Chains A and B, each alone.
Chain A
């Protein structure tokens, strides 16, 4: 898999290149600021973009804005955003750009768990989502009345885990449920959110996106 990486810390950039190499991915370009990322993505047409949020020159959210530009320029280009802190507001902006999946937003801490991190990369690259549990926790804070109120607490939990990007098996393990039970909860969620039937994982992604949009847009 061909990856473009944007990270301004040399130490971490080199480390990530090593990590991706060891996992059989090819880093075709590694840059240290957002402008460079846009150029590299244009030039190399990668299968996955990994970017930091805070980068030169302003050290605020340029990585995130670059990710949004990339999603506009190359619709469907999978982007994983890494950050020292995750903020639901940034997640919302990122996901508002996505009509389908291929989006990830994780704490930098997660790179320490190599297998899980690589798993998340592959999931995003193949059009899924990978949201940090911390973002999901933030999204659950706001107590507005919305379609999600119709969900039971259990269905809420299942939807949260779906947003993190877990499979039915993964959700079942986390909640100590059988896969059949998880499937039933997910079916209920689809119905309650009025989601039309769709191919493969797409419906799942739509549910997550709706969850995020409702949760994060005031």
Chain B
């Protein structure tokens, strides 16, 4: 914990938190106590009490206490923990407010202890003789020390309050565990949905646009071959349209092939990588050694890694050759992509590699990139197979 300076905003916010905390805790604790005679009402009001307290932490300390997900029910431990907090907080609040108030009060009194002697009032009836300079000096020193101590004390008390609130108002350990489980499940769901979506797009293009383009290119080819007695400009126009249709077909095929090749589902990663590696504009060596197939999601991620890495190499690396090694080892899948290009690849620059890293993260894989300026570049990826 950072030690607050005496006059910083932090010090005042902590002090405010503790001092406001006492009346709030007394009111809410009192209401809780009173409403014990009317349990249904208490159960309904309880979330509101908790919300007030939570907003206090948010306002003064800037700390968000995650709300409990379960509804307010008697059989929920969260309900009982909240009641516990509201009953406990007046006691904690009183102690905290008392200590902080004494510290600030002592500081002010000590620092102002020279005043009575200066003021020409009636002599004070006090155990210490404030006309004695040594006593005044001692008091002022104590005041100064308290001045420094008060913010620390306020900080400590606020922290104590916070830890009590976190324990009793926030989600418990088992609830957090539950939440992680839910998140993991929903993340897997999102990834699977994205893969399914890729497959759907691939199939739609395959059944629609690609067939239509093949048909178009074929008709133009047929026209080119049979309509030989047309005037030269017409023949030329047909020839040009024919070439462009073929080019469009090739580009669409390359794009769709990178999305999610059908052969990946049917025959696995090994078979699918041949196509993507053969399309690269530089020679690629491919070594695949997989004992049994990984899940479709992992296969899709591994395919995406290789496909994306090869695209990146073609775009940026000016490589003369590349090598891909895929190997399974018990429950892990290792993917290595090497190229002899110019290096200097970085994860934080450009979207290609970052997209790659995100995709790997999404399945709890790891990525190691080595790409010194001047090359060569190696991307090593480790994926869980299950």
Say yes or no: is A213 at the interface (Cβ < 8 Å to chain B): no
Residue of A11, A22, A85, A218 near B261 (CB, 8 A) is A85
Complex: chain B residue closest to A61, CB-CB: B266
Residues of A125-147 at the interface with B, using a CB-CB cut-off of 8 Å, are 134, 137-143
Instruction: Check A87 for interface membership: any CB of B closer than 8 A.
Output: yes
Stretch at the interface among A104-112, A187-195, A204-212: A104-112
Out of B215, B272, B287, which one reaches A15, CB within 8 Å?
A: B215
Q: Does B194 contact A (CB under 8 A)?
A: no
Q: Which of A11, A54, A115, A134 contacts B215 (CB 8 A)?
A: A11
Q: Which of A18, A109, A218 contacts B222 (CB 8 A)?
A: A18
Measured between alpha carbons, how far is A9 from B213 in the docked complex, in Å? 12
CB distance from A33 to the nearest CB of B (A): 14
Main secondary structure of the interface of A (DSSP, over half): helix
| Complex Cα gap A114–B221 (Å) | 6
Contact A138 B275 (CB under 8 A): yes
Interface residues as binary, A94-129 with B (CB distance below 8 Å gives 1, 0 otherwise): 000000000000011101111100000000000000
Q: Is A84 an interface residue (CB 8 A)?
A: yes
Residues from chain A with a CB closer than 8 A to the CB of B262 are: 54, 59-61, 85
Q: Is B278 an interface residue (CB 8 A)?
A: yes
What CA separation (Å) do A114 and B224 show in the bound complex? 9
Q: Is the CB of B253 within 8 A of A84?
A: yes
Q: Are A109 and B287 in contact, CB atoms less than 8 angstroms apart?
A: no
Find the A residue at minimum CB distance from B264.
A87
Take A12-B211, A137-B278, A138-B275 as given contacts and tell me if A109 and B217 are in contact as well, using a CB distance cutoff of 8 Å: yes
- A138→B278 contact, CB < 8 A: yes
B 240-269 to A, binary, CB cutoff 8 A, 1 in contact else 0: 001001100110010011000111011100
Given A60-B266, A87-B271, A89-B263, also A134-B249 (CB < 8 A): no
A42 to B86, CA, bound (A): 84
A residues 75-95 near B (Cβ < 8 Å) are: 84-90
Q: How large is the interface on B (under 10, 10 to 19, 20 to 34, 35 or more residues)?
A: 35 or more
> Would you give the shortest CB distance from B206 to chain A, in whole angstroms?
6
Check B214–A112 contact: CB distance below 8 A.
yes
B226 at the interface (CB under 8 A from A): yes
Contact A114 B222, CB 8 Å, known A9-B207, A87-B274, A109-B217: yes
Judge whether A174 is part of the interface by a CB distance below 8 angstroms: no
B271→A141 contact, CB < 8 A: no
Residue B381 interfacial (CB < 8 Å): no
Interface centre among B226, B246, B274, B278 (most CB of A within 10 A): B274
Question: Bound state CA distance, A138 and B249, in angstroms?
Answer: 20
Bound state CA distance, A89 and B263, in angstroms? 9
Question: How distant is B218 from chain A, measured CB to nearest CB, in Å?
Answer: 5
Contact B263 A112 (CB under 8 A): no
List of A residues within 8 angstroms of B257 by Cβ: 85
Q: A84-B214, A88-B275 are in contact. List 20 more A-B contacts (CB 8 A).
A: A9-B207, A18-B222, A54-B206, A54-B262, A59-B203, A59-B262, A86-B275, A88-B271, A89-B267, A89-B270, A89-B271, A90-B263, A109-B217, A111-B218, A112-B217, A138-B275, A140-B278, A141-B284, A143-B285, A218-B270
Residues of A within 8 A of B (CB): 9, 11-12, 15-16, 18-19, 22, 54, 59-61, 84-90, 107-109, 111-115, 134, 137-143, 218
